[in-house]
Chain A
């Protein structure tokens, strides 16, 4: 059974006709061409596919678009504004927090939700916020550093 849905993604309204059991992850990647959202397990175990729904981190592999009418969805493609990178994106690039880069979109969005909630998180709070996002490359060190740097820069705009 297919459903006709209206989804607001990165500030743009999209009308899609998709099978009702198709996940948000699949609709984003396959119907909207937003391949910045990655998958690591499609079972809700790794955090790789995290997007923001009304500002909160959601595992898109477990979310169904039929439930999301009227919601505001943000993917990694929507983080930069008018060609200007989000401070998290800037810091991740500068500090080497993205190695293979595959877990990066999910971590960026989870961190964005954290900073919206707690603009000056402690390192432990960052660890706790990102505990559901697996990264196999970095040992998390540069990721924690980058979130700290971004928080600092958001607090004191350059």
Chain B
């Protein structure tokens, strides 16, 4: 069989399962309320746990007295950090800075210091209030500026400087020479406020320790494998005696990717009480767990030729990391390394720093570190297009990156469907008739003056002005390296065929709503010629399923998909041999379809699939086959080159049309057109759903979502105060799927679940400018910002609202590497784990 997973499918455009808008395999359970999320588990004798969390943003922890809590009737156990091994942990090996229950210091409001297991939640809650904790408050540092201004108040003792978690600097080519070549050099400063995932399901975990010392944890986690590894370390219990099951996740978006205090406390409490223990977090606690979008301040300097070509780009980012490391080192790199993937950017310099503050820790939210610089770059492109007198859509089309080449920072790019994405959204939105040039900057357009067509909003209120904006982006399809370095598969699948004609798929992948369970049914069904309903998917159980690293970095469809294809091909080969013997034909002549195996020209003699399985089991024995996948090793050969490589990149283009009310500053979105190059839509319905969800989330980030802190305290830790879009704020979303059939992906597929968020935010900012001539260089864009910009315009000053200055900060001397821009892509190497 060919090395190319698709090579054996000559009629690949005659798929029976791939490309069909099938319901998800778990949709039926979800619409009848049968799906069991973590908090839906009720075990006999189960105790209920609660965490006691710090009310201080920064404090030394003194004596923790649990006497009164223990004495409360109905309390089974009370634990503090002293009841856990003194082990610090963190998701990244380089940032081992967390404790489940803090022993020396708390670093944010919401850090856990003790935990209780009791007969019910109410008793556990009451017991928490009876725990006496002595705190010695320390100054809480609540912003990048404060943390840098107070090196004497150290949040952590490690890092690249006082309160500096990470300081990176990379340079590819001669950046000064690149600016010298430019006709226009722009410097702009942007700020992207932090926001949170806000999954509808609050995190919950149930732990059950047995008298044999074995432990099972059911948890709403996106990464059972990493939780499994870290639990062994944290609890000092052999990993072989721990089983982690990821229950169906009620929304993740990156917020359930770390090991958390409630999971660890549930395990320890179960070990101590001999009962199953459930800890279900409240909505407020979920805001403290966080790991969401980093607030990022950005300075970006880009050189352009008069035709709009980029000569070089220099980006500086400052990330407000919050109280712990989490994925922050990766986040820091991601604010820089994906930028050169979208457009021709021959020279690139990136400097980034992540600063600790006494706020909930930031981490990987949908788009991980890339929406912030994307906002900066795409808004700057809009400004440059205006100065150069170019149509921003045409300018972008002109400078698209070249397929199958390398970027300045040595990333291999394969297929690029961005040109088609732009064409589709430009066409569908009526861009050419609606855009018709930039509004002139400054005070030349008096607000009382009737807006030029198409600035008038349907002749309704004259104070409302309509605008249209465009932006583009690229995103990775799976991180090229694991969170811990190793040479093992990133994803594994075991496929077992049984005599009924059913096929079981075992895979560690975690369905967070994106449909990974369904993908694991569709791919084997396509290859084996059976119905997805014949496939039984058993996901995310560390004692049963081969490792899949987790649902993050848009890696699952590609990586578990490739592993599933490999396992399916191995099964198919053995079945084909057995059927070929019976039919006395060559195995290669056999087709698998309609639950039969046979020769197309002689289909009457085709063997039913169940019988084919029996023939194969008779000769081969039990039919169980493994598939493995690891991405091609393409890390750039420089320090830091491990973040950014991916098997392939998705591309998106977005046009937004909106109205701005000049009296109130309110923005109303009318339509969003989004074109997304996803390689191939394995299921267009699911792909559209991912794209629509991404657009929605981008809208929230652009217009309303933001973490607000006052006097060291989270000001809006609830679903009412933390605004997110409802059906009324979410406009019609018009999705266009662009297929490029990428050689790296399963049946050509690339990601669809994160990339489409990225262009939405700058497209909105650019549309606001088109509508009212106000440049909002900060998100979320609020009515106050619009009104401030309009006021500036009235005063004849530049109508720009956004950050005015950047921190005084010294970046490291850069790692200087030759630019690899334009070099041919690395050949698609023989993948690991192929026979």
Contact = CB atoms under 8 A, between A and B. Distances in A.
A132 to B, nearest CB: 8
Interface stretch (B9-17, B57-65, B681-689): B681-689
Given A98-B27, A131-B727, A141-B692, A77 B32 contact: yes
A99 B719 contact: no
B602 interface: no
Given A96-B686, A101-B26, A139-B733, A40 B693 contact: no
A38 B200 contact: yes
A17 interface: no
A104 B26 CA distance: 13
A35 B36 contact: yes
A42 B121 CA distance: 14
B736 to A, nearest CB: 14
B689 A137 contact: yes
A141 B202 CA distance: 23
Interface stretch (A1-9, A52-60, A64-72, A85-93): A85-93
Contacts of B719: 40-41, 43, 45-46, 134
Contacts of B693: 99, 136-139
Contacts of A92: 27, 30-31
A138 B696 contact: yes
Main secondary structure, interface of A, reads: loop
A38 B689 contact: no
A42 B250 CA distance: 16
A151 interface: no
B283 interface: yes
Interface residues of A, number: 56
B728 interface: yes
B30 A98 contact: yes
B486 interface: no
A141 B733 contact: yes
A130 interface: yes
B49 to A, nearest CB: 16
B199 A100 contact: yes
Interface in B496-527: 512-515
A95 B249 contact: no
B597 interface: no
B726 A131 contact: yes
Nearest to B720: A45
A124 to B, nearest CB: 9
Contacts, number: 172
Contact of A40 (B31, B200, B515): B200
Given A128-B728, A134-B726, A136-B724, A104 B283 contact: no
Interface of A: 29-30, 33-43, 45-46, 48, 75-77, 79-80, 85, 89-90, 92-96, 98-105, 108, 126-128, 130-144
B31 A136 contact: no
The 6 closest A-B pairs by CB, nearest first: A36-B33, A100-B513, A101-B30, A102-B250, A139-B696, A76-B33
Contacts of A95: 685
A85 B31 CA distance: 9
A96 B201 CA distance: 19
Contact of A37 (B33, B513, B718): B33
A76 B24 contact: no
B689 A96 contact: yes
Nearest to A19: B122
Contact of A140 (B198, B250, B514, B696): B696
B251 interface: yes
Contacts of B249: 100
B28 A137 contact: no
A3 to B, nearest CB: 16
A43 B283 contact: yes
Nearest to B35: A101
Nearest to B283: A41
Contact of B27 (A46, A77, A79, A96): A96
Given A100-B252, A133-B726, A142-B685, 18 more contacts: A34-B33, A40-B200, A40-B201, A45-B718, A79-B32, A85-B32, A96-B23, A101-B250, A105-B33, A126-B727, A131-B728, A137-B251, A137-B693, A138-B692, A140-B696, A141-B733, A142-B689, A144-B727
A96 B30 CA distance: 11
Contacts of A43: 283, 718-720
20 contacts: A40-B200, A42-B283, A43-B720, A46-B719, A85-B31, A85-B32, A89-B31, A92-B30, A93-B24, A93-B31, A96-B27, A100-B512, A100-B513, A103-B200, A126-B727, A135-B200, A136-B251, A137-B689, A140-B730, A143-B727
A8 B26 CA distance: 29
Nearest to B253: A136
Nearest to A146: B31
A133 B689 CA distance: 18
B425 to A, nearest CB: 16
B33 A99 contact: no
A45 B34 CA distance: 24
B689 A99 contact: yes
Contacts of B35: 101
Given A136-B200, A136-B697, A137-B689, A100 B718 contact: no
Contacts of B697: 136, 139
B37 interface: yes
B695 A100 contact: no
B513 A137 contact: yes
Contacts of B730: 139-141
B653 to A, nearest CB: 17
B347 to A, nearest CB: 38
Given A46-B719, A100-B201, A139-B695, A76 B32 contact: yes
B718 A41 contact: yes
A104 B37 contact: no
A102 B201 contact: yes
B809 to A, nearest CB: 35
A89 B253 CA distance: 25
A89 B32 contact: yes
Contacts of A96: 21, 23-24, 27, 685-686, 688-689
B40 interface: yes
Best-buried of B35, B42, B720 by chain A (most CB within 10 Å): B35
A125 to B, nearest CB: 11
Given A99-B513, A100-B201, A40 B33 contact: no
B282 interface: yes
A89 B31 CA distance: 5
Contacts of A76: 31-33
Contacts of B202: 39-40
B194 interface: no
A142 to B, nearest CB: 6
Nearest to A76: B33
A107 to B, nearest CB: 10
A106 to B, nearest CB: 9
Contacts of A40: 200-202, 283, 719
B37 A102 contact: yes
B27 A102 contact: no
Nearest to A100: B513
B31 A38 contact: no
Given A104-B30, A131-B727, A38 B692 contact: no
Nearest to A104: B30
Contacts of A38: 37, 200-201, 250
Contacts of B732: 141
B196 to A, nearest CB: 11
B119 to A, nearest CB: 13
B248 interface: yes
Contacts of A36: 32-34
B730 to A, nearest CB: 5
Contacts of A137: 251, 513, 689, 693
Nearest to B197: A136
Contact of B200 (A29, A100, A126, A132): A100
Contacts of B514: 99
Given A45-B718, A46-B200, A35 B27 contact: no
A130 to B, nearest CB: 5
A104 B251 CA distance: 12
